[in-house]
Chains A and B, each alone.
Chain A
Amino acid sequence: MILDLHTHSVVSDDGRAKVPNYCQWIRARELPIEGFVLTEHRQFDFASDYSALARQFGLTILKASEVETEYGHVLVFGVTETLTQAFDFADIHLPLAQVIEESERHGAVPVPCHPGRKRVGMAAHIDALGVPEGVRIVEVFNGGSRGEEDRIAAAMADEQNYRGIGGSDAHIVSHIGRCATRFDGAVGSEGELAEALRGGDFEALSYREQA
């Protein structure tokens, strides 16, 4: 199953895409993804229910979060209500160690995203802060990153033996599906996604040339 693991909708402050239009775009352009994960900035969107839309378009639509730490931005998959009470998702200075510890305690999976970018990516902070404990997966293909930024991410993942995921980091409709992640099995819920990431049977994909 192929999912775009990093997208933003109008729920994010800089998102300009409406979720129904993402669905319509995926089908109209016959993109090879079977669903996507909405990773809204600094929050978990409890309010939106996309289940009817998912059924209508035959897509899997899941929710996660993108939070901000001293090592840059981090996607958190498998967010639960209790996890959102464990730390302040809106805080832009979260300690990565806390995000990792609390995520694992609550069954979620933290994944530093666009790690090759300056400031908001993990690689830029390793010299000053050291290699963080507990990172197992990073985003090696990010649709919004420049080529050399993904190369930095891939090199860091190789060096540290991290697994890699892919996500488009779409903020507008036409950017969805630029990067994605292939899972060996089916993923139908936030919990199953976290489980699949922990299991390690996945592969990052980039479709940017075709997009």
Chain B
Amino acid sequence: MSVNGITDVEFGDTLPVFDPDTSLANVARFVEAAHWNAPRFTDHEAARAEGLPGALVPGIMSQGFLAAMIHRWAPKAEILYVDTVFRAPVVVDQPCHINGVVTDLDEATGEVEIDLTVTNEAGETRVFGTARARLPN
């Protein structure tokens, strides 16, 4: 169920899990649009030659996933701030899940704070962060 305003939200609400497209084709599309084209993002072998576990989903793409998740949950949300910490690589072609929970809420301003994590299939946190968004009253 999507959220229309701040009154629809309670502290501790869990956002619907979002499984983003981490395929090589989609990452290639992203890095082209972002002008971030580099073999470490689009070529597993080249990435391994750099000592990486495989081609990487760029950090800025993971951050984009987090923002998209918030918009899917609350289409009218105005994102004010997204802060992400990259703890471990998100590898291209490996499924990951975006999770979010509301950890602060101010009904007067309509602002919510959301904890966000990117986890892999093993449930390990690869990226975490927080976002602040304003919802209509």
Contacts and interface: CB of A to CB of B under 8 A. Distances in A.
- The answer to whether A and B touch in the complex, with CB atoms under 8 Å apart, is yes
Interface in A41-56: none
Nearest to B99: A174
B interface SS class: strand
A28 B130 CA distance: 19
A174 B101 contact: yes
A174 B115 contact: yes
B115 A28 contact: no
A14 B103 contact: no
Given A16-B83, A21-B103, A173 B115 contact: yes
A17 B130 CA distance: 9
Contacts of B122: 146-147
A18 interface: yes
Interface in A21-65: 21, 24-25, 28-29
Contacts of A73: none
Interface string B110-137: 0001010100001011001110000000
> Which are the 3 A-B pairs with shortest beta-carbon distances?
A173-B103, A28-B12, A174-B115
Interface of B: 11-12, 83, 85, 101, 103-104, 113, 115, 117, 122, 124-125, 128-130
